[in-house]
Amino acid sequence: MNSAKLPDGGVLYDETEDDEDEGLPVVPEIERALGIDWREGWKNESGLKGADLIAEFVKHLPNAPGVYRMFNEAGDVMYVGKARSLKKRVGNYAQGRVHSNRLSRMVRDTTHMEFVTTRTETEALLLEANLIKRLRPRFNVLLRDDKSFPYILITGDHRAPAIFKHRGARARKGDYFGPFASASAVGRTINSLQRAFLLRTCTDSVFETRTRPCLLYQIKRCSGPCTHEISDEGYAELVGEAKDFLSGKSQNVKSAIARQMAEASEDLDFERAAIYRDRLASLSHVQSHQGINPAGVDEADVFAIHHDGGLTCIQVFFFRTGQNWGNRAYFPKADPQMTGAEVLNAFLAQFYDDKPVPKQILLSEAVEEQGLLALALSEKATHKVTILVPQRGEKRDLVDHVLGNAREAHGRKLAETASQGRLLQGFAETFGLSYVPRRIEIYDNSHIMGTNAVGGMVVAGPEGLVKSQYRKFNIKSTEITPGDDFGMMREVMTRRFSRLLKEEGRPDRSQAPAEDAADAPFPAWPDVILIDGGQGQMTAVRTILDELGIRDVVTAIGVAKGVDRDAGRERFFADGRSDFSLPPRDPVLYFVQRLRDEAHRFAIGSHRARRKKEMVRNPLDEISGIGPGRKRKLLQHFGTAKAVSRAGLNDLMAVEGISEAVAKQIYHHFHENQSG
């Protein structure tokens, strides 16, 4: 199968083997018929739109599997779909065969389509999932809160493997175990595995510089391979046992440790027996804190969906090696008129787009493309994947348990969303806004006597705090007087909105959001900004908004602490009205206080992280050309950075990997007023 790159960087799959122009669409005759040149930004010169335009496309489509994309007049992708037969599937749109008002709007707004043919329907399914996750079209079911899952990594590139929590690409050599549902689940498991198998958790650089065992060795949470308190062979046995335990051989490992404990007791070596006893207790602790551990489920993901009140909750539990490795609730964005089975079907392909697929997937209800999905995931995973809807027995009980969790999470989310909606409505009424805000940004600064100053921005929307949108601003200007809060706020506002104008352009506020705005992507521009400060802060902010020409598109509100800085006595500053306070028990007041406190917490946390980084910064980091390798060699040779700063040229040149030129560079860095 040949591939050609799309203009947006995606990959176009084409069945043809000898296409001379690698950038051509799969069906270029459609583009020519409609006067479209997508390589220069497509232009619809035919005047056709909606069903009429789609009907023109259908005339040229092949009766083959593939993926299609529907665009609106602004060039945004509205929908990505896949089909066993592109001609038949797209033909349904041309004939008006849609099942909801939402899809009718989509067809009406379509001004362009693009197509990609694939060899099989399974390839189309996988490509569709990838495009939906990357493009996030408005009318598709969208997997939200798609954070990467943490894993446990036992390294394989060192004489003494370490155990770490890992996220992201698996670039480092070693064994990966997971996924776990949360970082806390990984942390608890690693904590217990340390006690059970005495594996190190230090970095390689720390390991190499140890001259005596660390505190973890003293409290019996590490076997001390750094200083050879245990032989390499003995440590390798511990690593092997840990891998066996995480690979599902937990009973074999526990039985072996129990035998060793019994043998030590028979030899009257009670100290060694106590070590084995503690290791057994730690392994039991791992399993006891994993909740349900069904005997008949070795490796599976269990999905259950609850769909009610316009909100969908999908709960997933992860079982690996016969152990429960946690669960997570998802709330995908979907058309309320879709059935639970339709949402679950669309969700599953996206979920496994970038995650390892287990051997078995258990569902609370059957989905339409169950067989196709199993085949596609089997091809992706290179092992057989079965998808089942259990009807009885232990697996059915397990699915019912997951379904109960989905119902509970759904109820909590529905209550939170309703409450947030009422608060935003009250917020709009209190501050005289013409519509309910969908994005509120809250700003605060943090510093100590002007040092390590950081500006923090937190974001709230219809579903509460949106932590993926949080931003921090390290104050960079050298012209700001230390401690000048007004100057810091000016810098933050200038950087934030200058970049927003450059990347998103000026928003159109001439109309209130449409009725279906809740279906639209989360906006990049804030409707309201809350500033932690009084009239002085607001003057600085309004000046910046005026200079950028956006004061009419962003509502700025100042929140000043009340008399004696008491919560509940805040003063509010807004355009067009005198400063005012809210009644002490007003729900909107509590809402604003929570937002301000979250901004304060985030700004302080960012400031502390920056201050800590400054405190532990190594003087060697400031020298150009001294990377991690040379720094490690210098510290191994001299012990401390201070000793390096006092070393002479000859001493520096004696270090492995330090040439005469590098030695002079280091020496002159610490002796600016002396010549070499």
CATH of the domain at 12: 3.40.1440.10
Which domain covers residue 229, as residue numbers? 151-288
CA atoms within 13 A on the CB side of 208: 15
Q: Which residue has the tokens 């140890």?
A: 210
CB atoms within 10 A of CB 37: 11
* 437 contacts 556 by C-beta, under 8 angstroms: no
Q: Are residues 343 and 283 in the same domain?
A: no
Phi, psi dihedrals of residue 388, rounded to the nearest 5°: -125, 150
Q: What angle do CA 662, 664, 669 make, to 5 degrees?
A: 100
pLDDT band of residue 101 (cuts 50, 70, 90) is confident
Q: Are residues 19 and 59 in the same domain?
A: yes
CA atoms within 13 A on the CB side of 216: 18
Task: Output b/e per residue, 503-538; b: 16+ Cβ within 10 A.
Answer: eeeebebeeeeeeeeeeeeeeebbbbbbbbbbeebb
Specify the number of domains making up the chain.
5
Distance between start and end Cα atoms, the chain? 63
Instruction: Tell me if 205 is assigned to some domain.
Output: yes
Instruction: Tell me if 93 is assigned to some domain.
Output: yes
> Is the pLDDT higher at 180 or at 449?
180
pLDDT band of residue 439 (cuts 50, 70, 90) is very high
Q: What is the pLDDT of residue 17?
A: 35
Stated as kind and residue range, the H or E segment containing 149 is none
Instruction: Tell me if 425 is assigned to some domain.
Output: no
Task: Output b/e per residue, 635-661; b: 16+ Cβ within 10 A.
Answer: bebbeebeebeebeeebbbebeebeee
ω into 179 cis (within 30 of 0): yes
Instruction: Tell me if 417 is assigned to some domain.
Output: no
Q: Are residues 554 and 650 in the same domain?
A: no
CB atoms within 10 A of CB 613: 10
pLDDT in tens, 560-579: 876 555 556 788 998 878 88
Q: Are residues 129 and 201 in the same domain?
A: no
Sign of the dihedral through C-alpha 7, 11, 13, 14? positive
Phi, psi dihedrals of residue 326, rounded to the nearest 5°: 105, 175
Q: Are residues 224 and 333 in the same domain?
A: no
If we measure between CA atoms, which residue out of 663, 45, 130, 196 comes closest to residue 351? 130
The Cα–Cα gap between 104 and 93 comes to: 9
If we measure between CA atoms, which residue out of 459, 574, 463 comes closest to residue 526? 459
**Does the pLDDT value for residue 67 go beyond 80?**
yes
613: Cβ contacts below 8 Å, ≥ 6 apart? none
* 500 contacts 459 by C-beta, under 8 angstroms: no
Would the pTM of this model clear 0.75, i.e. be above it? no
- DSSP state, residue 46: S
CB atoms within 10 A of CB 110: 23
Q: Are residues 638 and 664 in the same domain?
A: yes
| The last residue of a domain, from among 352, 380, 412 | 412
Q: Are residues 588 and 457 in the same domain?
A: yes
Q: Are residues 124 and 265 in the same domain?
A: no
The Cα–Cα gap between 97 and 367 comes to: 21
If we measure between CA atoms, which residue out of 321, 343, 339 comes closest to residue 330? 343
The Cα–Cα gap between 619 and 643 comes to: 11
Q: Helix 250-266 and helix 232-246: axis angle, to 10°?
A: 140
* 522 contacts 137 by C-beta, under 8 angstroms: no
* 534 contacts 563 by C-beta, under 8 angstroms: no
- DSSP state, residue 579: -
| The last residue of a domain, from among 111, 135, 159 | 135
Q: What is the pLDDT of residue 248?
A: 64
Instruction: Tell me if 631 is assigned to some domain.
Output: yes
Q: What is the pLDDT of residue 168?
A: 76
| The last residue of a domain, from among 412, 444, 472 | 412
Q: What angle do CA 505, 509, 515 make, to 5 degrees?
A: 115
pLDDT band of residue 636 (cuts 50, 70, 90) is confident
Q: Are residues 250 and 348 in the same domain?
A: no
pLDDT in tens, 329-385: 888 888 877 888 889 988 988 888 878 888 899 999 998 888 999 998 998 888 899
Q: Which CA distances in Å does 241 have to 236, 275, 565, 641?
A: 9, 15, 58, 39
Q: Are residues 215 and 256 in the same domain?
A: yes
Q: Are residues 187 and 230 in the same domain?
A: yes
Q: What is the pLDDT of residue 497?
A: 92
Q: What is the pLDDT of residue 470?
A: 92
Q: What is the pLDDT of residue 632?
A: 80
Counting every residue written for the chain, the total comes to 676
Sign of the dihedral through C-alpha 169, 172, 177, 182? negative
Q: Are residues 278 and 209 in the same domain?
A: yes
CATH of residue 630: 1.10.150.20
- DSSP state, residue 319: E
The Cα–Cα gap between 206 and 160 comes to: 13
Instruction: Tell me if 420 is assigned to some domain.
Output: no
CATH of residue 573: 3.30.420.340
**Does the pLDDT value for residue 429 go beyond 60?**
yes
Instruction: Tell me if 676 is assigned to some domain.
Output: no
The Cα–Cα gap between 472 and 582 comes to: 30
